[in-house]
Amino acid sequence: MLWRNKRADYVWISWVLLMAMVIVLSVITMNWIFGYTQSNVDVIKKRTENTQECESTGMSIESVCQTSKTIHITIANRNNLQITKVIFRFFDYRREPLLPTREKKVALDPDEQQQFILQKDGVVQYIEAIPVTSTGEYEVTCLNKIATMNEVQAVKISC
């Protein structure tokens, strides 16, 4: 009777199993990457920045008054498109950001004003307000149309 070397069979089987496992993991990783990029592309499409719609968007900060816990900001829409959201960023006297950034949904038509009362931490010296408009299913953040207020009045007892 002829004896075969079974170790050679085990090595061959281990290589086949290893290659099968590598192929399966590659397919799983490829499917995950494809799904991940598709979902990110959808998010990017819905939230575009600085498109042509921003040329018809304009906003200004009309007045600001702050108490020890709140800040009262009056915003005016100065152009042709409706503003659907305003992103507020607050800074202290060294121009360091006071966290967190505040977002407020609004329906601010052209040539209208609206007052916002927001909670704050610390003394605010500088304010940035970023207009956001919607065009169909897309939300457009207009970073090139930031409204600023450089010298915010000191804290008052009431506004």
Residue 46, pLDDT > 70, answer no
Query: What's the confidence (pLDDT) of residue 43?
Result: 76
Residue 5, pLDDT > 60, answer yes
Higher per-residue confidence, 92 vs 138: 92
Model confidence over 75-130: pLDDT tens digits? 999 988 899 999 999 998 888 888 788 899 999 999 999 999 998 888 888 999 99
Rounded-to-integer distance, Cα 50 and Cα 88, Å: 17
Query: What's the confidence (pLDDT) of residue 144?
Result: 87
User: What residues contact 66, with CB distance under 8 A and at least 6 apart?
Assistant: 72, 120, 123, 124, 152, 153, 154, 155, 156, 159
pLDDT-derived band at 2 (thresholds 50, 70, 90) equals low
- Rounded percentage of the chain residues whose pLDDT exceeds 90: 40
Q: Of the given ranges (5-14, 42-51, 144-153), which has the lowest mean pLDDT?
A: 42-51
Residue 154, pLDDT > 90, answer no
Query: What's the confidence (pLDDT) of residue 41?
Result: 85
Architecture of domain 52-149: Sandwich (2.60)
Q: How many C-beta neighbours within 10 Å does residue 147 have?
A: 20
pLDDT-derived band at 4 (thresholds 50, 70, 90) equals low
**Element holding 6 (H helix, E strand):** helix 6-46
pLDDT-derived band at 47 (thresholds 50, 70, 90) equals low
Backbone angles phi, psi at 30, to 5 degrees: -65, -45
